[in-house]
Structure formats: structure tokens, C-alpha cells
Amino acid sequence: MSDAKKAIAYAHENRERFTKELSEFIKIESISTDDAYKAQVTQAAEWAAAHLRTIGIENVKLMPTGGHPVVYGDLLKKPGAPTVLIYGHYDVQPVDPIELWETAPFDAVVKGDYLFARGSSDMKGQVMATINAVEAIMKTGDFPVNLKFMLEGEEEIGSMNMGNFLPKHKDLFKADFCLNPDAGAISADEPTITFGLRGLAYFELHVYGPPRDLHSGLFGGTVHNPAQALAELIAGMHDANGTVTLPGFYDSVRVVTDQEREDTAKLPTTPESYLQQTGVPALWGEKEFTPALRTGARPTLEINGLLSGWTGPGSKTVLPARAMAKISCRLVPDQDPAIVEKQLKQYLEEHAPKTITWEVKPLHDSPWAITDTNTAGVRALDAAMETVWGRKPLYRREGGSIGVVAMLQNICGVESGLVGGGLPDDNIHSPNERMHLPTWHKNMDAFIHFFFNMK
């Protein structure tokens, strides 16, 4: 039996235990966006570190970053062989709206082919798929390459401390290639390698009217309602075609080439697949681009949340003192988050009425990334996926963001292979997040082949 086959047999025999261990990891409520969960985020880092030690990874430690720690570990037994850096994040998104969950968010529940829980697909499941593949190889023979782990606790808040942390530890994270399983796949039957990610610039826009809430009968019609003023400002941020109207927003956006249009048109991500996955009655957006190009290659401006006035049960005739919108822009090459902040402020300077005052609070940002697919690492992944799925992977640009990918390129000179078992209907960041177990298992097998292909 080949070494890869032995490791795969081990992985198959241990599937039940792997699911149990994943459930323990999931149980820890590591919500990085909410300071109230700081202790839980650290606990998840400690759990991951302890698990790495259990399977025999060496030099495991929690490294302070100024925010949530990075878990490091290594296995450097093959002088001369390539070094693979494994990236993952152990933080998760908030669970709200909690009332829409069918099972408790942090109690992993298996129903049919799916394991339901916050963090199952994004991405504790993907982290464990990788660690399980490593364990399977370690327990059945010699590890064919050198390994390093970088498990982050701030991915869901734009990796805000990584820009300071990485330059200080450049040598420690030196590697020939980074395996990053946080990018998902087009479908269970279509293995996917992602070569583009969008960046992000996240803001709060606060609109202030009177110094306190007013009676809407006494003052309505005479005082500009901040909720209305905010709605008017937001409504003006797109034109009727869905194009963003911030001044200069598209100035540094790379033009979509004919070649990219052609390549993207061949992907199975069609208008129909977007309709089916989202359940909306009709799609929306810039009509000169297909939905796959709109999400992969074009920038956006999204309202992520709105807050103002009375939203409790029943009625209250109030003219609210203030209104707030959470706004984020997905960015593409060669946009810069700092410039987008200026463009948002310029739009507000030009359009905000004299009846209110406003303030923009930047929360965090994340760089876009285009990865090099012409590397030994991507070839090893491509071959591994073909072995397991029996077909070549598809290559696409994805609309989500993973801050560390560009930072690894720019700071450490390391290229990433973006893959993963997350599927478009896994409800990541939404209620009832789930992970497709058959794809999870296939990915473990593919990662085993990948490590042997790398040597």
C-alpha cells in the first residue's frame, strides 16, 4: 500500500472521532467581533494548540499579536524538503439573529450529510480537515515535507493586527507555500481553486439630528428626521444600474479583460445558480457584468446594518435623534481602503444636507489578493484534487476576503493555495451555518495527497 493510501485508510477509520473533536472545538464561542467573547476566543486558541500538541506537532505556542493570539506549531524533520505553512482561523462570526437558528449555534448537530453549527464551514471544520490529514500521515509513516501552522483569531475582523505582527516574525513564517482552506468550492462535485479575493473597507456612518429624541407630532415636518436623512444618503450611493457613486470609486479598478470574461463565462456560477442559492426573486447589479464577475472582479458598497428610532414591539411616535449604518466596500485590484475612506467622506461632504451632522468611523479593512496559480504548491493541490474528485479543479475569483493572503505575499513572500470544503449554500455568517460532511471527508483525502505531491 502506498503511503498516501495508508494515511487515507487511517483518516477513514477515524472519521467518527474527528467529528467529535470538531464538535468540541465548535463548542467554544470564539466570536472575535464582540469583546464580550474575548475569553472564549483565547480558549479556542488554547484548544487548537493543545490539539496540535496531542498529534505530535512541535514548538506549539500562542503568540501575542496585540489582539487575539496566533497559534504557531511546526514539524521540521525534512531538511531540504519544501516547507508548507498551514493557515486557518479559529474565530467565528456572531450568531445573531439567534431566533432563526433551528438548533443551538454552538452545539454541533449532524443531520443527514450536514453538520450544523456556527464555525462548522467557516472555518473550524476546514482547520480540522487539514489537521486531521496531517495526523493521518504522521500516524502511518514519515511526514514528507516540513510543516508550520499559523492559526489566527482575528480573520473575521479583517486580521487587524497581522500587519504589525507578521513583519516581526518574518523568518518564523518563512515557507515555500501556504495551504489556505478558507476559500470554499463552487459545489460538492466541482473541486475549486480560488485565485482572487476581494478586499474590504468597513465603516460606521453616524447621522445626528436633534440632541434628543423628539415627539414626531410636535416636530415632524420641521426637523429633518436623521433616519430619513441617512436613508437618502445611502440611496444616493448607487445609481439605477447598481454602480457605486462615490467620487473616484472606480478610478483604480482594473478593467475586466475579454479573456477573463471568457474564462468566467465557462464556470458553472450562472445567474440561475445565484438565484437558486440565494432564494431572491430576481438578481440585481451592474448589467454589463455577469453575476460571477460582479462578485469576483467588481467592487461593491453594501449596507450591512441599520439602526435608528423605535424598533421594539408596537408603536412609538418618535423622531429619533440619530441614525447609524454599517457600510462596507468590497475592493478589487488596485483599490486602496484608505482612499475609499476619503471617497466616502467626499461623497458625504458633497451630499449631506445642512439639517444634520455626520461622522464616519472606520472599523477595519483588509487587502484584496490575486494569487499566483503557477506554483509547485498549486500544481500539487490541483493533482491532489483531481485524484480525489476524478476531475480537474475549476479556477475562479471569489468575492469574500481573507486579509492574510496579501500580507503573506507582501511581507513574507509566500504564495497561498486557496481551497476548502465550504459550499455556497453552507449559510456562512448566517443562521444555520452547516458543513457538508462528504466534502469534508474528500478534502481530508485531498490534503493527504497534496502533502505527498509536495515532496
Are 121 and 434 spatial neighbours (Cβ–Cβ below 8 Å)? yes
User: Does the protein bind ligand BES through residue 264 (CB under 6 A)?
Assistant: no
- Considering only residues 80-139, where is the footprint of ligand BES by CB under 6 A? 122-123
We find the least distance from the C-beta atom of residue 89 to Mn ion, in angstroms, to be 8
Are 451 and 137 spatial neighbours (Cβ–Cβ below 8 Å)? yes
Residue 91 near which of ligand BES, Mn ion, none (CB within 5-8 Å, type-dependent): none
Left, alpha or beta for 221 (phi > 0: left; psi -120 to 50: alpha)? left
- The smaller minimum CB distance to Mn ion, of residues 321 and 363, is found at 363
Candidate list 69, 291, 377, 400; residue touching ligand BES; CB under 6 A: 400
CA distance 59 to 76: 10
Residue 403 near which of ligand BES, Mn ion, none (CB within 5-8 Å, type-dependent): ligand BES
Binding mask 200-239 for ligand BES (x = CB under 6 A): x---------------------------------------
We find the least distance from the C-beta atom of residue 194 to ligand BES, in angstroms, to be 6
Q: What element of type H or E holds 111? A: strand 109-111
- The smaller minimum CB distance to ligand BES, of residues 90 and 451, is found at 90
We find the least distance from the C-beta atom of residue 212 to ligand BES, in angstroms, to be 34
- The smaller minimum CB distance to ligand BES, of residues 123 and 166, is found at 123
We find the least distance from the C-beta atom of residue 160 to ligand BES, in angstroms, to be 9
CA angle 46/52/56 to nearest 5° reads 140
Residue 86 near which of ligand BES, Mn ion, none (CB within 5-8 Å, type-dependent): none
- Considering only residues 366-385, where is the footprint of ligand BES by CB under 6 A? 366
Sequence-separated contacts (24+) of 372-379 with Cβ below 8 Å? 372/415, 373/193, 373/195, 375/177, 375/415, 375/417, 376/82, 376/176, 376/177, 376/454, 377/84, 377/176, 377/177, 377/178, 377/179, 377/415, 377/417, 377/454, 378/193, 378/415, 378/417, 379/453
What separation, in Å, do the N-terminal and C-terminal C-alpha atoms of the chain show?
18
CA distance 244 to 298: 10
We find the least distance from the C-beta atom of residue 345 to Mn ion, in angstroms, to be 28
Q: How far is CA 7 from the centre of its chain?
A: 29
- The smaller minimum CB distance to ligand BES, of residues 137 and 193, is found at 193
- The smaller minimum CB distance to ligand BES, of residues 27 and 118, is found at 118
**How much is the CA Rg of the chain, to the nearest whole Å?**
23
Alpha helices in 244-369 (DSSP H): 258-265, 271-278, 291-296, 337-351
We find the least distance from the C-beta atom of residue 156 to ligand BES, in angstroms, to be 5
We find the least distance from the C-beta atom of residue 93 to Mn ion, in angstroms, to be 6
By CB under 6 A, how many residues form the interface with ligand BES?
18
Binding site for ligand BES (CB under 6 A): 122-123, 155-156, 158, 182-184, 194, 197, 200, 366, 398, 400-403, 422
